[in-house]
Structures are given as C-alpha cells and as structure tokens.
C-alpha cells in the first residue's frame, strides 16, 4: 500500500495524488497537520530515507531558521519530538510503499510506484487506441515524451 504524507496547499502533493488517481492506484493520504505522527512512524521515515533527517526535513523551514536549530546537535529522541511538535519542518510529499521511498514529486522517479503487475503487462497490452497509451507507450519507448 502506498502512503503519502501531505499538507494543504502543497502543489507537489496534488501532482502525486493526481498521478496515482489517473492510474487507479490506491493510496492512503496522511495530512501531517491533521494526523498526529507518532514516534514509531517518524523513526520509520528516518530509517527509510538514505540520509536520515537531511532527506525529510527542510532546513529552510521558518521554525528552524528563526530559532537557529542545529538538527545535528539533537539526539534521535529530541529530533523525533521536534518533528512531532513541528510537522511543518517535513518536506512534502513523502511517498512510500514496501519497496520505494520518495520525497517530492519527480515525474520520472514516481514510476517506481506503478504496481508490478501493471509494469509486466504494459509492454504488450495496449495500442494507440488505449486511454493509457501515453503512459504504457512511454514505458515501452513508443509514445512521444
């Protein structure tokens, strides 16, 4: 199952949701301002990112800048509590499933979230008359970019 951490007014979040809906891919949306993130969830996000807090936290965040917070000086528990109390520091969207983890919307990288079955079928199942040809054809190298 795909989980997306979003916020209102986030253009990239809207793009990800639209991309998934266009492809009828089910997902769970967690608005970081409406759903209280718990410690285990934040630990999991940190563990899935390649560079830990550097990947998921916006160091340009107003809270970090105004308070001159040195994230590297925080212990893991302090960092987790800081995120819980200040969810706006999280970069968005954060997209993940069992196999993939992505921060932000990237039109090429998001293909990793296509279900495996769809990727297997794409090379042979449609032609120019198919409503999904633009996507499938691109996957096969037939459709124009």
Local confidence band at 135 (pLDDT 50, 70, 90 cut-offs): low
DSSP 29-60: EEETTTSPPPHHHHHHHHHHSTTTHHHHB-TT
Of 1, 25, 11, 18, the residue nearest 92 (C-alpha)? 11
Local confidence band at 97 (pLDDT 50, 70, 90 cut-offs): very high
Residue 13 known to be catalytic: no
Copy the structure tokens of residue 67: 């308070």
> Mean pLDDT across the stretch 33-59?
92
88 or 128, higher pLDDT: 88
pTM of the entire structure?
0.77
135 or 12, higher pLDDT: 12
């Amino acid at each position: 199952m795909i989980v997306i951490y979003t916020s209102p007014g986030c253009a990239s979040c809207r793009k990800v949701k639209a991309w998934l809906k266009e492809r009828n891919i089910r997902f769970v949306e967690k608005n970081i301002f409406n759903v209280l993130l718990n410690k285990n969830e934040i630990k999991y996000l940190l563990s899935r990112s390649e560079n830990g807090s550097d990947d998921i936290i916006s160091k340009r965040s107003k809270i970090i800048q105004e308070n001159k917070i040195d994230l590297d000086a925080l212990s893991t528990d302090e960092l987790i509590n800081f995120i819980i109390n200040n969810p706006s520091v999280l970069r968005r969207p954060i997209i993940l499933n069992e196999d993939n983890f992505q921060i932000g919307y990237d039109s090429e990288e998001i293909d990793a979230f296509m279900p495996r079955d769809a990727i297997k079928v794409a090379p042979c199942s449609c032609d120019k008359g198919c409503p999904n040809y633009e996507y499938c054809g691109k996957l096969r190298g037939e459709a124009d970019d």
